[in-house]
Amino acid sequence: MRQRMILILVLMAASVCNASMTTADFYLSPKGSDAWSGTLASPNAHRTDGPFASLERARDAVRDLKKSKSGDILVLVRSGTYSLTMTVVFGLGDSGEGDSTVTYAAYPGETPVFSSGREIKGWKKVSGRLPGLPEEAQGKVWSANVSGRFLTLYDDEGMLPRAQSERFVPKGSATELRFPEGKLKNWPNVEDVEIVVRPTRLWTMNVLPLISVDEKAGIAHTAIPATYGMNKIGCWVENVLEELDKEGEWVLNTKEGKVYLWPRGSKSPVMAPQLIEFIRVEGQVDKRGPEDIPVRNLCFRGLTFKHGERYTLTKDDAGTQHDWDMFDKANALVRLRGTENCVIEQCHFLHSGSGAVRVDLHGRENTISGNHIEHMGGGGILLCGYGPGTKDVNKKNLIYNNNIHHVSRIYWHSPGIFLCQSGENRVANNLIHHTNYSGMIISGMVPRFFVQQNKRESSRAIRWHEIGKAPRNPTLEDVRPYLHTRNNLIENNEIHHVMQILGDGNGIYVRGCGPGNVIRGNYIHHLVSPINGQSGMRTDGGQMDTLFTGNVLYKCKSQGITLKLNNRFENNIIADVIAPRGIYLKIVEGPMTGASNKRNIYYSSLPDCTFISEPGVGAGRVGEDRRGRVAARMKDMDSDYNIYYCKADRSRSDG
């Protein structure tokens, strides 16, 4: 009898608990109607009342409710797909009042999906031979009539690859491409054709639309300049029928109003995205002024976002370092722009052409946690404050416990997590893997960009009206007050299998920042770039006053850590750095006064290892010394209490 009573009480408690979990102020459902009250979780029997149908209607209802209700407000979102055709904007009127929070959350146990995908219908198999189509694709391609332009396509398996040529190596500049004979044509729809560019540098790439091709002269021009000269490494042509030669590939011809597709095996719907940005939370931003008014206390929990469009560069964009991303650009599925104490948690971002989450300009004490970010064309999470100046309002955010993988599918240089002009943040317990460049970038701006020029990369973002005139040859001390990526804590993250395509990158990279950044307790392993020159961790470009401690670096190809100037490397473990190079600690720029290499363990089970590498004695202005830098020397570091152990060759061991 007693056991039965206990069981009954447990069931009653569970019932009450379940009811409280599903009790909300408003509900949202694909089966709902914006003409209803939104206060019922499901339509009633007579279908005269029930949940809302759109996020915009729920937002507007919350605005009205706030006039009569104090305290937290909850909107529960039921399972199903919500098709978006316009960005949903939350403004100052949508903030939680006082300490209260307005939450938009998945109904317990359900998976609501927000998508901008529009299904393409009316597919017909191309009859007869299609001129220009490769022989292997003849008889396998379908076409459909479409309107407008789209840059990505999706089926049930994810993003469909656009038709792409083999790599070719041109000559030229950042705007002019001198191509080998036959590699480019003056296509009738040349404005649909894009060039994927790996310019003169290993660490970036561009996707640029063509505007003209002179076949006779062998010269083509792009609508937007590349970051660097379009030569040396290679280019690919995309979106031309002549290159549609593999299953899953597609081509769009906007002049014909047709899309061509060699379908994958599954007969799933094919979706064309309509939006880059799904949700924007935007305060009152005064870009030139000293103060903004932020949106506060909004939370998005357990929502799924997919089928977003790819962003493109414009002539007015202001680039971050190496154009890895842009300042204040609408290129993420969810964007916080002028916010405080807002939360994005337990959400799923996938199969989209741009980034997942970004916090722009004024962004303080926001939390991005427990999210799953995968298969994105751009990056995972970006905190990007104002450009260098006196306005320092992107800080004290938390990026915690996110799983980020297979991002940078289109823009290969996009990292898993990127901090730019953002300080005092905690980035902890995140898993980042399978990216095409660096896992995490902590960045600002180096002094040589502090010149008044209209260059897209870095310089265009500088707030000259706050700084005034910079010296002719600015030093780090001249510009340091304007570098706001400072005092960040990067801890307990795991990063592996990054650097899948590009070169000269890192697990964690720090450059052009202010002082006080701490990189501790991270596990970085299996960096596998096909190009040498990467490091597990690295300071670069005049970076100073950074502490690396308690990290483990294992099986990183080329180099374990690369240090410059007075940064400290203490209490770390580096094991089995993979050849070629096989360098454990590489120092490349001095003076090293104030730098440390203490209480570290360097372990190799391989005979091909170099525990310490410093610049050779040469003619001077070469390599890292080309701008007159001082050569790095171990004798200038505080280096002691380290263990160097080579299992395969004991003569290399030391303590």
Q: What is the pLDDT of residue 627?
A: 55
Average pLDDT, the chain: 94
Hey, what are 305's tokens?
A: 């976002």
The reported pLDDT for the residue numbered 653 is 65
Q: What pLDDT shows up at residue 382? A: 99
Which segments in the chain show pLDDT lower than 70?
Answer: 1-20, 618-628, 653-655
For residue 626, with 0-12 CB atoms within 10 Å meaning exposed, 13-18 middle and 19 or more buried, which class applies?
exposed
CA atoms within 13 A on the CB side of 28: 28
Single-letter residue type at 226: A
Q: How far apart are CA 438 and CA 500, in angstroms?
A: 9
Cβ contact 486:423 at 8 Å: yes
CA-nearest of 396, 399, 405 to 344 is 399
How far apart are the C-alpha atoms of 643 and 611, rounded to whole Å?
10
- Which tokens in the block code for residue 369? 């946690």
Give the Cα separation of 196 and 167 in Å (integer): 9
Handedness of CA 67, 68, 71, 74 (dihedral sign): negative
Three-state secondary structure readout of 375-419 = EECCCCEEEECCCCCCCCCEECCEEECCEEECCCCCCCCCCCEEE
Here the tokens at position 158 are: 């994810």
CA distances from residue 173 to 183, 210, 220, 319, 605 in whole angstroms, order as listed:
17, 14, 11, 19, 46
Structural domain spans, the chain: 2-115, 118-272, 553-655
Question: How many helices and strands in the chain, by DSSP H and E?
Answer: 4, 54
**In whole angstroms, what is the distance from residue 132 CA to residue 395 CA?**
54
Q: pTM score > 0.85 for this model? A: yes
* CA–CA dist 423, 321 (Å, integer): 17
* DSSP assignments along 545-599, one per residue: SEEEES-EEEEEEEEEEEEETT-EEES-EEE-PEEEEEEEEEEEEB--TT-EEES
Say what the pLDDT of residue 11 is.
Answer: 54
Tokens of 79: 């399972």
What pLDDT is attached to residue 403? 99
| Amino acid 480: pLDDT | 95
